[in-house]
Amino acid sequence: MANSFINASLPDTSDRMLFAVPKKGRLYDQCLGLLSSIGIEFNRKPRHDIALVTNMPIALVFLPAADIATYVAKGNIDIGITGLDIIRESQTENDVAELLRLGFGKCKLQVQAPLSHQGVASAEDLVGKRIVTSFINLTKQRFAELEGVSDPEKIKTQVRFVSGSVEAACGLGLADGIVDLVESGDTMRAAGLHAVGTILETESVLITNQHPRFPKLAAIIQKRVEGILTARQYVLCQYNIDRKSLEMACRIAPGRQAPTVTPLEQNGWVAVSVMVEKKVVGDKMDALSDIGATDILVLDIANARA
Ligand SMILES: Nc1ncnc2c1ncn2[C@@H]1O[C@H](COP(=O)(O)OP(=O)(O)OP(=O)(O)O)[C@@H](O)[C@H]1O
Ligand SMILES: O=P(O)(O)OC[C@H]1O[C@H](OP(=O)(O)OP(=O)(O)O)[C@H](O)[C@@H]1O
Ligand SMILES: [Mg+2]
């Protein structure tokens, strides 16, 4: 279970829920944005990896993303944000509870080979060859499947660990193929590589220990984050329509629960307010306009609670 940091120069965290956040890298900015959106305020001193939250009994702990799942699984940290890829690689999926998928940090863990090696068209073609990766366990598991071997430690493919800039390994002669994360594909292409197989699709997740020390506080954080994710996913659409066309309009945009309908002073007309998924709002506006809706407005939602 989580302990306070026993060091006179460190803040007292004994009564606080420890919340781990990636200290740098691809998830850092998005995590800080999310913390701010859910109303978490803190002061972080330069070079300090612990920051006390000023308006909740929480201490933020800034850690490498790759270590967060292990700390949460072991109970040294109560709640945290990391990638699904890291949970799977650290083999902690049975010891952490996944509260929410966060919709950022989306990418794929892919097997990649040099474009110049024309004989390698699929991951199978790399069986028995040299693979370099930061994802040793997931890579060994995939090659064990490809080789039909039940123990990933008994594969003939040679899997070697490097901690970063994995794409350089083929060009430098250390590997015949690599396994690394791909988002836009720019890094892969810049290194003269192409994807020959996908091991995992990943995104960021909010996780807790299976037996969190502060279950109520963890539930509050989960609710707040859920609210922000909903707010990001939806917009509020408002329009006026003849009551005769209301049923059709509600079929076009039924909302999350149901539209709010308010009578207008104008006889027979109503004002409708409804949540619509951002990605389809253009289509919905066109369809509402086609059946006679007027003054169709779309408003951003700053926050939401189910
Ligand atoms: N290109 C990317 N696009 C989206 N998500 C990514 C990308 N690269 C990494 N991630 C996600 O972020 C997690 C942390 O990786 P990241 O590269 O940010 O950490 P790091 O290697 O510790 O930082 P840095 O690369 O700055 O040294 C990954 O496990 C993955 O879930
Ligand atoms: O498909 P892309 O959009 O190019 O993103 C993929 C790159 O992002 C990550 O690297 P990062 O920038 O974190 O550097 P690192 O390899 O040193 O960790 C990952 O390891 C890939 O190299
Ligand atoms: Mg990285």
Q: What is the pLDDT of residues 200-242, one digit of tens each?
A: 999 999 999 999 899 999 999 999 999 999 999 999 999 999 9
Q: Single out the residue of 51, 61, 59 nearest to residue 23, CA to CA.
A: 61
Encoded tokens for 273: 């307010």
**pLDDT at residue 7, as a whole number:** 58
Please give the number of the atom of ligand 2 that sits closest to the Cα of 167. Answer: 22
Q: Is the CB of 95 under 6 A from ligand 1?
A: no
Which ligand is nearest the CA of 133, by number? 2
CATH number at residue 187: 3.40.190.10
26 and 165 share a domain? no
Which ligand is nearest the CA of 107, by number? 1
Reported ipTM: the value is 0.96
Ramachandran quadrant class, 293 (left: phi over 0; alpha: psi -120 to 50; beta: rest): beta
83 and 113 share a domain? no
Asked whether residue 9 is domain-assigned, the answer is no
Domain count, the chain: 3
d(CA 206, CA 82): 7
130 and 21 share a domain? no
Chain CA centroid to CA 107, Å: 9
Q: Single out the residue of 238, 234, 243 nearest to residue 291, CA to CA.
A: 243
The domain boundary, picked from 168, 183, 213, lies at 213
- The rounded Å distance from CA 7 to ligand 2 centre is 36
Please give the number of the atom of ligand 2 that sits closest to the Cα of 166. Answer: 16
75 and 208 share a domain? yes
**pLDDT at residue 8, as a whole number:** 55
Chain CA centroid to CA 225, Å: 12
Encoded tokens for 126: 């790399």
Asked whether residue 123 is domain-assigned, the answer is yes
Asked whether residue 226 is domain-assigned, the answer is no
63 and 208 share a domain? yes
Asked whether residue 3 is domain-assigned, the answer is no
Work out the average pLDDT over 105-130.
96
**pLDDT at residue 101, as a whole number:** 97
- The rounded Å distance from CA 164 to ligand 2 centre is 8
Let me know: does 218 contact 99? Beta carbons within 8 Å.
yes
Q: Is the CB of 107 under 6 A from ligand 1?
A: yes
Q: Helices 28-37 and 215-233: crossing angle, nearest 10°?
A: 100
DSSP string, 200-223: EEE-EEEEEESS-S-HHHHHHHHH
Which ligand is nearest the CA of 105, by number? 1
Range of the domain at 275: 234-300
Q: Single out the residue of 111, 30, 26, 10 nearest to residue 66, CA to CA.
A: 26
114 and 193 share a domain? yes
pLDDT digits (tens, 9 = 90+) for 249-276: 999 999 998 999 999 998 899 999 999 9
Q: How many residues in total does the chain contain? A: 306
152 and 118 share a domain? yes
Please give the number of the atom of ligand 2 that sits closest to the Cα of 134. Answer: 20
Please give the number of the atom of ligand 2 that sits closest to the Cα of 182. Answer: 1
This prediction has a pTM of 0.90
Q: Is the CB of 28 under 6 A from ligand 2?
A: no
Whole-Å CA distances, 4 to 15, 55, 77, 182, 290: 8, 19, 10, 38, 62
- The rounded Å distance from CA 179 to ligand 2 centre is 12
d(CA 126, CA 120): 7
56 and 23 share a domain? yes
Reduced to 3 states (helix: H, G, I; strand: E, B; else coil), residue 241 is strand
Among 27, 187, 200, say which to mutate for ligand 1: greatest number of ligand atoms within 8 Å of CB: 27
